[in-house]
Chain A
Amino acid sequence: MSQLQVDGLDVYYGAVHALKGVNVRAEAGEIVTLIGANGAGKTTLLRTISGLVPAKGGRVMFEGKDITKIPAHEIVALGISQSPEGRMVFANLSVEDNLELGAYRRKDGAGVRKDRDAMFQLFPRLLERRKQLSGTLSGGEQQMLAIARALMSRPRLLLLDEPSLGIAPLLVRDIFKNIVEINRGGVTVLLVEQNAHMALSIAKRGYVLETGKVVLEDDAAKLATNDEVRAAYLGG
C-alpha cells in the first residue's frame, strides 16, 4: 500500500465542483509532482489532504489509515505537513517563533531545538534573520521559512504548494535543491507547481490536473517529453 493514497476524491465549494473523483498516490520516499493550470484544483487537493477542506466523496488514506474526516490540527500530528500557497508565514512573529509554532505539537524541547538548528543549516539565510519579524523577509526568504516551519513537525509527508511562486529564478533553483535534500533525508514530497519544468526535473512521478480531474499520470521523465504536456505547461 502506498504511503499516501487519494481515492475518488470529490470536493465542492458550494456549487463549484473543484475535484472530480481524483486519484493520486505517493510512495514513501518519492517526490511526486502535481501540475496544472490556474484553477485546476491543485491547492484544493493539498488542502483536502491536510484536512482544511472537507471531502464530499472519496477518501484520503495515509500509512494505511483513513484520514478523510480527521481535523487539520490532528493531521499534522500524524505526520503530514504543508507549506501552503502564498506562504502564510506569521508576519508579526519572528523567524524563530514561526519555527517554534511549526513544532507546536511536539513535546521534546531538546529535539525541537536541534531541528531548528538543522533548519538554519539548511537555510542559512534564516539564521542571519532569526530575530527578524517574518513579515519583513523577502518573498524567497518567506518561502524558505514556510518550508522550514512545515518541517519542524517532523513530517513523513511534506505537501508543498507552489514554492516557486513570485520568486526570482536563481532563488527558485536553490529552493528546489533544498527540496531534493529534504527528500533525501527520507521525507516524501508532494509538490504542486506551475513551474512544470523545474518540478518534473526533480520528481519521480507526476500528475496533470485539469479542471478538477487527473488527465495524465506518468513518470516525470516521460511527462517532460509528452507532447501535450510540453505544449500546455512547458512552453512548447
Chain B
Amino acid sequence: MSEFLQQLVNGVTWGSVYALIALGYTMVYGILRLINFAHGDVYMLGAFIGLYASGWFHAAENPNPLKALLVLLTSMLLSAGIGMVIERLAYKPVRKSPRLSALITAIGVSLLLENGGLLLFGADPKFFPQIIPAHNISLGMGVVISNQQVIVLAVSLALMIGLRTLVLHTKVGKAMQAVSHNHMAASLMGISVDSIITFTFMIGSALAAAAGVLVALQSPKIEPLMGIMPGLKAFVAAVLGGIGNIPGAVVGGLVMGVAEVMVTGYLSSTYRDAIAFVLLIVILLVRPAGIFGKAVTEKV
C-alpha cells in the first residue's frame, strides 16, 4: 500500500510536468489546428535558459526561494519571447498554405532548435545548479515526498489555475476562445486574430519553459535533445485528454505520468517509454477524440 501511494505521489508529480507541456500543444492546436512539433524543444530551451539565469542571479550561492522564482520567471519570459519569434518567423508565413506545409515547418523548427542547441550548448550534458537544495518530507505510512516535488506540484498547480483564470475570465482569454472557435467571427468582433495566435504561442512556450526548469530541479542533467521524449509524451497526453481541450491536457498529463511511474515500479523500466504509445494506440482505438474530446467533425 505504501509503495503504491509512493508511486502515486511520484506519478502525479511527473504527470504535472507532462500536463504543463501538454497545455501548450493543446492550446496551439485549439487555435490553429497545428501540432507544434517544436514544443518539446522549447521545454529544453526553458531548462537551458534556467541554467544561465541561475548563473546571472547567482541562484546556487546562498540559494533561496526568491532567487529560484526569479530564475523560473526569467526562463518563462524569455521562452515566451522565443515562442513569439517561432510563430512569427516560421508558422505565420505558412498559415494559409496547405496543412502539410505547416506540419513540415513544425518538424523543421524542431530540428533547427535541436541542432542549434547542440551547436550552442554542446552535446555533453550540462548540470543544472542546485537552486533549491533537496530534502525529504515524510508524509507518513512510509510515503516520502521531496521538497522539490512539492515545488513542482505547487508551481504547476498555480500555473494551471492562472491559465484557467486567464482563459475563462479575462477579455484576452475570451478572445482566445473566440479565435479557437472561428477566426472569421473573431475578426468581426474586432479581435486581431494574429495577435491572439502569437499570444497563445507565448503562453504555451512559457508553460513549457516552466516545465523545463521544474524537471531540471530534480534531474539536473540537461542536454539539447532532452525535449524529444517528454515532448512526444506530452503530445500523447494532449491527445489522450482530447486535443484542443485544456482540462483534458491536464488530465492526460496526469494519467501519462502515473501510468509511466506505475509501469516502471511494477513491471520494468524497459516499458517506461513504451507505455505512452500503448496509451496512444488504446485511446485512438477506443475513443479517438480523447477523454474529454467531443466527437465533432473538423470544421473548415
Contact = CB atoms under 8 A, between A and B. Distances in A.
20 contacts: A73-B189, A73-B190, A73-B191, A73-B192, A73-B193, A76-B188, A76-B189, A82-B188, A84-B184, A84-B188, A90-B177, A91-B181, A92-B181, A93-B174, A93-B177, A93-B178, A97-B174, A100-B171, A102-B189, A104-B189
Contacts of A164: none
A101 B181 contact: no
Contacts of A74: 190
A165 to B, nearest CB: 16
Contacts of B181: 90-93
A91 B187 CA distance: 16
Interface of A: 50-52, 71-74, 76-77, 81-82, 84, 88-93, 97, 100-102, 104-105, 149-150, 153
B190 A90 contact: no
Given A77-B190, A104-B171, 12 more contacts: A52-B184, A71-B187, A72-B187, A73-B190, A73-B193, A92-B177, A93-B174, A101-B186, A101-B191, A104-B191, A153-B189, A153-B190
B20 to A, nearest CB: 23
Given A88-B182, A91-B181, A101 B175 contact: yes
A105 to B, nearest CB: 4
B178 to A, nearest CB: 5
A93 B180 CA distance: 12
Contacts of B187: 51-52, 71-73
A92 B180 CA distance: 11
B185 interface: yes
A72 B188 contact: yes
A86 B187 CA distance: 15
Contacts of B192: 71, 73
Given A92-B177, A93-B177, A101 B189 contact: yes
Interface of B: 171, 174-175, 177-178, 181-182, 184-193
Nearest to A91: B181
Given A73-B190, A76-B189, A101 B174 contact: yes
Contacts of A149: 189
Enumerate the 3 nearest inter-chain pairs by beta-carbon distance, A residue then B residue, closest first. Answer: A76-B190, A72-B187, A88-B185
A100 B174 contact: yes
Contacts of A100: 171, 174
Nearest to A101: B189
Nearest to B196: A73
A121 to B, nearest CB: 22
A35 to B, nearest CB: 22
A50 B174 contact: no
A88 B184 contact: yes
Contacts of A104: 171, 175, 189-191
B173 to A, nearest CB: 10
Contacts of B184: 52, 84, 88
A100 B191 CA distance: 12
A92 B181 CA distance: 8
A101 B174 CA distance: 7
Contact of B188 (A50, A92, A97): A50
* Most chain B CB inside 10 Å of its own CB: which residue of A88, A101, A102: A101
A81 B188 CA distance: 7
A101 B182 CA distance: 13
Contacts of A97: 174
B89 to A, nearest CB: 20
Contacts of B185: 84, 88-90
Nearest to A83: B188
B178 A101 contact: yes
B190 A105 contact: yes
A100 to B, nearest CB: 7
A92 B30 CA distance: 13
